Amino acid sequence: MKMLWCLPALLVPLVLAPGNEDAPPSETAAGWVKSPKNPVLGGDLGTCFDISVLKEGDAYRMWFSWRPKKSIALVESRDGVTWSKPEIVIGPNAKTDWENDLNRPVVIKNGDRYEMWYTGQARGKSWIGYATNRDGKSWTRMSDKPILTADAPWEKVAVMCPHVIYDDGAKLYRMWYSGGEQYEPNAIGYATSPDGLKWTKHEGNPVFKPDPKTVWEKDRVTACQVVRQKDWYVMFYIGFLDQNRAQIGIARSKDGVTDWHRHPANPVIRPGRDKWDHDAVYKPYAICDGKQWLLWYNGRKGGVEQIGLATHAGEDLGF
C-alpha cells in the first residue's frame, strides 16, 4: 500500500518462518496463487498502488493511485491481467487546502451512479473526500471539505484508505477506513452514513487492531477491503511486522464490526524473494466471479510499487 514518500530505495529482508530463518517462506497460502504474468500494472508508469476494481459485464475497471501524477487513474481489462492505457479521472484540487495529492480510492456503483471515496493529502495529513458521476470518468466532488477528518485520538493525523459498501436492506453506507500515522496508519475504524456525505463514526473504534501476539501483523493493520460472503463480512487487509514489512491477511465477522476471526493460514499473500514484490505486499482488492477469486495487490521492491494479481479457485476461502 504505499507511501514511500521521499524514502530512499531500501531492501528490507523478508519475514521468514519462525525457527527456519535460512529458508524462504512460501509466497502464498490457503490456495492462493500469484499470476506468472506479474506485475500486471506499473513498469514505465512508475509507482502504481492502492486500487479499486469493479467487474462490469465481461470487463474489469480499475481505479488506481498514480504516484508520479498525484492522481487517480482508470484502466480497463478483459482478463484482469492486460490493462489499457491509463486515463487520469480525478487529480489535485488547487481550490482546497487538503487535496494536493489524491490516492487510495474506493469506487462503487449504486444504481446508475458511480460513487468514489478517496484520500486527499497535504501538509503531512490525510483526509477522505467524496465524488460521484455517471460514467466512472467525469467525477464531480460533492463537497469542498473532507467528509471524514482525523479528530479522534487514535486517528492521530490521518484518515485514509476508505472502503465502502452500500447496505440496501438498511439503506445505509458502511465504511471501513484506516487511521493513525501519515506513513502507514495504525488500525481500522468504521463509520456509517445515510447519504455517503455525512458520516457517524463507531463509538468502539478502532474495530480492527494489530494482534501483538502475531509476528507478521504485530505493528499495525490497515487498508482493508470488506465484502459480503453468505452470512459473513470478509476482510482482506494488510498486516505489518514494522513500517516497511507488510503482508496480506484475511479475517471475517458476522456483523462486520465486532468479533473478527483471522484466517488460520495468514498471511495468505507474501513477498517473493528477489522479485518485484520482494519487500512488501500491500492493499488487497478481491472479486469473486463465481468460479474463482481474483485479488489485486501492490508489491514493492525498493522504492517502486506495482500491481500484481493472485487467484484462488472456488468461492470457499478455507476458514
Residues 7 and 275: beta-carbon distance below 8 Å = no
Residues 163 and 113: beta-carbon distance below 8 Å = no
pLDDT given at position 3: 38
pLDDT given at position 25: 66
Q: Reduced to 3 states, what is the DSSP secondary structure of residue 122?
A: strand
Q: Reduced to 3 states, what is the DSSP secondary structure of residue 56?
A: strand
At residue 155, φ and ψ (nearest 5 deg) are -80, -15
Q: Rounded to an integer, what distance in angstroms lies between the CA atom of residue 1 and that of residue 166?
A: 24
Q: Rounded to an integer, what distance in angstroms lies between the CA atom of residue 58 and that of residue 263?
A: 31
Residue 169, C-beta contacts closer than 8 angstroms, at least 6 positions apart: none
Residue 96, C-beta contacts closer than 8 angstroms, at least 6 positions apart: 120, 144, 145
What is the tens place of the pLDDT at every residue in 127-144? 999 999 999 999 999 999
pTM recorded for the entire structure? 0.92
Of the pLDDT bands very low, low, confident and very high (cuts 50, 70, 90), residue 290 is confident
At residue 179, φ and ψ (nearest 5 deg) are -140, 155
What is the tens place of the pLDDT at every residue in 227-242? 999 999 999 999 999 9
For residue 267, say if its preceding peptide bond is cis, omega within 30 degrees of 0.
yes
Which residues sit opposite 235 in a β-bridge?
A: 226, 251
Q: Rounded to an integer, what distance in angstroms lies between the CA atom of residue 289 and that of residue 287?
A: 6
Q: Does the structure show a pLDDT above 50 at 17?
A: no
Q: Which CATH architecture does the domain made up of 48-313 adopt?
A: 5 Propeller (2.115)
The C-alpha cell of 144 is what?
Answer: 469542498
What is the tens place of the pLDDT at every residue in 158-184? 999 999 999 999 999 999 999 999 999
Q: Rounded to an integer, what distance in angstroms lies between the CA atom of residue 11 and that of residue 32?
A: 25
Q: Does the structure show a pLDDT above 60 at 261?
A: yes
Q: Rounded to an integer, what distance in angstroms lies between the CA atom of residue 217 and that of residue 239?
A: 4
The C-alpha cell of 70 is what?
Answer: 498525484
Q: Rounded to an integer, what distance in angstroms lies between the CA atom of residue 256 and that of residue 270?
A: 25
What is the tens place of the pLDDT at every residue in 41-85? 999 999 999 999 999 999 999 999 999 999 999 999 999 999 999
Residues 174 and 108: beta-carbon distance below 8 Å = no
Quote the distance between the C-alpha of residue 262 and its chain's center. 18
Cα distance from N-terminal residue to C-terminal residue, the chain: 25
Residues 100 and 127: beta-carbon distance below 8 Å = no
State the average pLDDT for the chain: 93
Structural domain spans, the chain: 48-313
Q: Rounded to an integer, what distance in angstroms lies between the CA atom of residue 49 and that of residue 246?
A: 14
The C-alpha cell of 168 is what?
Answer: 440496501
Residue 199, C-beta contacts closer than 8 angstroms, at least 6 positions apart: 147, 148, 173, 175, 191, 192, 193
Q: Rounded to an integer, what distance in angstroms lies between the CA atom of residue 181 and that of residue 194?
A: 28
Q: Which of 134, 165, 129 is nearest to 148 (CA)?
A: 129
Residues 84 and 76: beta-carbon distance below 8 Å = yes
Residues 61 and 73: beta-carbon distance below 8 Å = no
